[in-house]
Structure 1
Amino acid sequence: MESNEQVYAMPRIGDIAPDFEAVTTTGKIKFSEFAKDKWIVMFSHPADFTPVCTTEMSGFAQRQDEFTAMNSELIGLSIDSIHSHLAWVNNVREKTGVYFQFPIIADLDMHVSKLYGMLQPNESETAAVRAVFFIDPAKKIRLIMYYPLNVGRNMDEIVRVLQALQFSDKHKVAIPLNWKPGDQVIVPPPKTLAEMDARIADTTCEKIDFYLAKKTI
């Protein structure tokens, strides 16, 4: 007997972000039309009213202005109802003063979680892992992070990654280990003999060798 169950492929870096329609805490959305001309940071959490998730969502909320300044929109998700989301948002606001103003997707049927590979059966079949997707204004997936249920994310690294992606795009450079704004960046290596000779003669960048050169922008 043939199965009617939909088969989901794990999204990959470079893929166009899968489209979907969903109910969120700020209203219904169609993802392909959401946050046009902006970067999107989409992140999942296992469940409402849980401690680690509360710290993480609070972290996103407390730094929302930074993401806004970087021309990006936040959007969260968990496999909970819209009523649970609203109650949790209100509870956290009452108890801590932190308000989750970004949309949170209600994914009771687990469609979006499956579409984005947030459900990983060896971790849980009913709770989304802690995934983060960085999606550029062309709706292309640029970077993916996955964390297990019991380890919270690092908000500084999430901000840094977005800064690095945008800086690399703007200046056509590569980003080295532990880079942060203001640090030197990697000049792309030469691809021809002529480019190699030009790099060797170049006095405007710091060269470890012709293939490894850094500069300050």
Structure 2
Amino acid sequence: MDNPDMATAPTSAWTPLRIGDPVPDFTARSTHGMVRLSDYRGRWLLFFSHPADFTPVCTSEFIAFARAADQFEELGCSLLGHSVDSLFSHLAWLRAIRDDLGVTIPFPIVEDPTLEIARAFGMAGYGENHSSSVRAVCFIDPEGTLVASTVYPITVGRSVAEMLRTVAALQRTASEPVMTPEGWQPGDPVLLPPDFTADEVLASDRSTSWFFRTGPAE
């Protein structure tokens, strides 16, 4: 990784990455050659991390990501995997998935044997040498800003379908001042921002209509 700020970061204190923060840039080896995170600017990016190769839960997730890759592409969203193991381990893992499970992984996976990338993204604290906490998903907008994130334990598989839905919802709400309700799917109605003046609230026809209003699907 070649971020000078991270290279000089103190080892006694660290700040996790928060929604709205610019994501730290890095350059790393991957299964598709050298990768620089800032090269994805101008596109949405799903950056998802794993604590180790050859693990059952992570293998199931990689298969699901591979099968949904075209759907992410339709949303203009790139996929970038991350595991703390070495590039050699990544390549052997992908070969095993292809040979035994019949699935070819189409997206790059970056290596992070020193946990430097994991620490930069707040997945592991400075001074920690274990990788069990490296199970995050970062939703990054075209400007390189973290707009959503999730963290899961190593025992629970993440839902690729939910990640697709989240990307679509983030794109829908980024284009105009609307919000998406629980379980929203593309094509569903959205929620409108509430009114914030006493006149608007008192003039509303129902007691909930000033803060719970639906808008058109598109």
TM-score, length-normalised on structure 1?
Answer: 0.87
Distance 1:69 1:6, change over 3 A: farther
Distance 1:162 1:4, change over 3 A: closer
Deviation at 1:145, TM superposition (A): 0.1
**Residue identity matched to 1:31:** L
Unaligned runs of 5+ in 1: none
Alignment equivalent of 1:45, drawn from 37, 40, 50? 50
**Superposition map of 1:134-173 within 5 A:** 134-173=139-178
Distance 1:213 1:109, change over 3 A: same
8 Å contact from structure 1 (residues 78, 127) kept in 2 = no
Aligned residues: 208
Alignment equivalent of 2:114, drawn from 105, 109, 112? 109
Deviation string, structure 1 residues 74-126 (Cα, Å, up to 9, x no partner): 001111110110111111011112111211010011100111122369x9823
Bigger mean CA deviation after superposition, 184-193 or 9-18: 184-193
Matched, 1:10 2:16: yes
Matched, 1:130 2:135: yes
8 Å contact from structure 1 (residues 113, 128) kept in 2 = no
In the other structure, the counterpart of 1:211 is 211
Deviation at 1:173, TM superposition (A): 0.4
Q: Name the SS of the counterpart of 2:158 in structure 1.
A: coil
Q: Distance in 1 between matches of 2:131 and 2:149?
A: 21
Q: Name the SS of the counterpart of 1:41 in structure 2.
A: strand
Deviation at 1:193, TM superposition (A): 5.3
In the other structure, the counterpart of 1:55 is 60
Unaligned runs of 5+ in 2: 1-8
Deviation at 1:30, TM superposition (A): 2.0
**Residue identity matched to 2:47:** M
Q: Distance in 2 between matches of 1:124 and 1:176?
A: 40
Alignment equivalent of 2:186, drawn from 181, 185, 189? 181
Distance 1:57 1:128, change over 3 A: farther
Q: Name the SS of the counterpart of 1:99 in structure 2.
A: coil
**Residue identity matched to 2:169:** A
Distance 1:159 1:211, change over 3 A: same
Structure 1 runs (4+) greater than 4 angstroms displaced: none
Q: Distance in 2 between matches of 1:73 and 1:6?
A: 34
**Residue identity matched to 2:214:** K
In the other structure, the counterpart of 2:4 is none
Q: How much identity, in percent, do the aligned residues show?
A: 37
Deviation at 1:192, TM superposition (A): 3.9
In the other structure, the counterpart of 1:83 is 88
TM-score, length-normalised on structure 2?
Answer: 0.86
Q: Name the SS of the counterpart of 1:47 in structure 2.
A: coil
